[in-house]
């Protein structure tokens, strides 16, 4: 399942991050690439331990924790500390799959990458190209979102970033391990949760059907969740 999380960050938060990103010292993006993806990756990244990356990472994690749509869709167990990249002057990232397991630097903690996320800091009219293209069984999906919006997509997919031919594309990207590893099961839970919320709005919370369906939701989650 691919899902857009609109306005994860407010306009003020985007402006605050852009200010930090403009002053940041960027390095070659190959530093976090696996062997195969390093061959096709051509962009800039912020060093993981830079104060700017850590401050913005914290801001993003807090925003994720307050976002009901993200929590319902991702059912997050562990979130990898957000990274930051910049593509400009024809830079691109060829078709690749993300590493299945990532180790959090300095802690040794391992995160299985069930979902990948890209959060945009630049608006589509500020650069040409730079679409995130995600391939699934329905074909290729091209994604280019407003600043502050985030796309969530299965880490199992092949994906690429098209060359940026004008301006600069600045984003945060990260991975997360979900409590529900299987994308199909997680999608069912998301659909069920969305329907229950709609029922609650239409019939009022506490309606017998809604209570029963909420029971079904939690019993499925109990069956499928890994902690």
Q: Which stretch binds Ni ion (CB under 5 A): 7-15, 94-102, 181-189, 190-198?
A: 94-102
| Min dist. Cβ of residue 140 to Ni ion (A) | 15
Nearest-CA neighbor of 94 among 169, 164, 168, 41? 41
Q: Which stretch binds Ni ion (CB under 5 A): 24-32, 90-98, 134-142, 184-192?
A: 90-98
Q: Which stretch binds Ni ion (CB under 5 A): 16-24, 46-54, 59-67, 96-104?
A: 96-104
Return the structure tokens found at 73: 């869709």
Query: Of 4-23, which residues contact Ni ion (CB under 5 A)?
Result: none
Nearest-CA neighbor of 68 among 137, 147, 3, 116? 3
Query: Of 97-156, which residues contact Ni ion (CB under 5 A)?
Result: 98
Q: Do 95 and 37 contact (CB within 8 A), yes or no?
A: no
Q: Which residues contact 67 (CB under 8 A, 6 or more apart)?
A: 5, 8
Alpha-carbon torsion, ordered 86, 90, 96, 97, to 10 deg: 20
| Min dist. Cβ of residue 60 to Ni ion (A) | 17
| Min dist. Cβ of residue 192 to Ni ion (A) | 29
- Smaller CB distance to Ni ion: residue 13 or 85? 85
Cβ-in-10-Å burial (0-12, 13-18, 19+) of 11 comes to exposed
Return the DSSP state at 80: P
| Min dist. Cβ of residue 159 to Ni ion (A) | 6
Provide the mask over 41-80, with x wherever binding to Ni ion is found by CB under 5 A and - wherever it is not.
Answer: ----------------------------------------
Query: Of 149-188, which residues contact Ni ion (CB under 5 A)?
Result: none
| Min dist. Cβ of residue 104 to Ni ion (A) | 17
- Smaller CB distance to Ni ion: residue 96 or 186? 96
| Min dist. Cβ of residue 123 to Ni ion (A) | 22
Q: Do 149 and 7 contact (CB within 8 A), yes or no?
A: yes
Angle of the 51-65 helix axis to the 11-23 helix axis, nearest 10:
160
- Smaller CB distance to Ni ion: residue 98 or 131? 98
Nearest-CA neighbor of 45 among 30, 60, 29, 21? 29
Binding site for Ni ion (CB under 5 A): 98
């Amino acid at each position: 399942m691919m899902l857009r999380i609109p306005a994860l960050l407010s306009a003020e938060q985007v402006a605050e991050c852009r200010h930090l990103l403009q002053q940041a010292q960027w390095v070659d993006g190959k530093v976090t690439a696996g062997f195969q993806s390093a061959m096709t990756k051509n962009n800039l990244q912020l060093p993981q331990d830079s104060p700017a990356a850590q401050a913005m990472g914290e801001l993003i994690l807090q925003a994720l924790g307050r976002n009901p749509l993200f929590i319902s869709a991702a059912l997050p167990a562990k979130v990898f500390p957000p990274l930051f990249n910049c593509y400009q002057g024809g830079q691109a990232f060829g078709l690749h799959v993300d590493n299945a397991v990532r180790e959090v630097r300095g802690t040794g903690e391992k995160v299985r990458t069930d979902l990948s996320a890209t959060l945009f800091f630049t608006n589509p009219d500020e650069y040409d190209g730079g679409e995130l293209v995600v391939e699934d069984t329905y074909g290729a999906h091209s994604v280019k979102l407003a600043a502050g919006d985030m796309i969530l997509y299965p880490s199992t997919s092949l994906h690429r970033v098209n060359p940026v031919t004008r301006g600069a594309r600045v984003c945060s990207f990260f991975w997360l391990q979900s409590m529900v590893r299987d994308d199909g099961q997680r999608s069912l839970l998301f659909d069920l949760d969305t329907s229950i919320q709609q029922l609650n709005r239409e019939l009022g919370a506490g309606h017998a059907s809604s209570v029963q369906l909420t029971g079904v939701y939690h019993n499925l989650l109990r069956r499928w969740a890994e902690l």
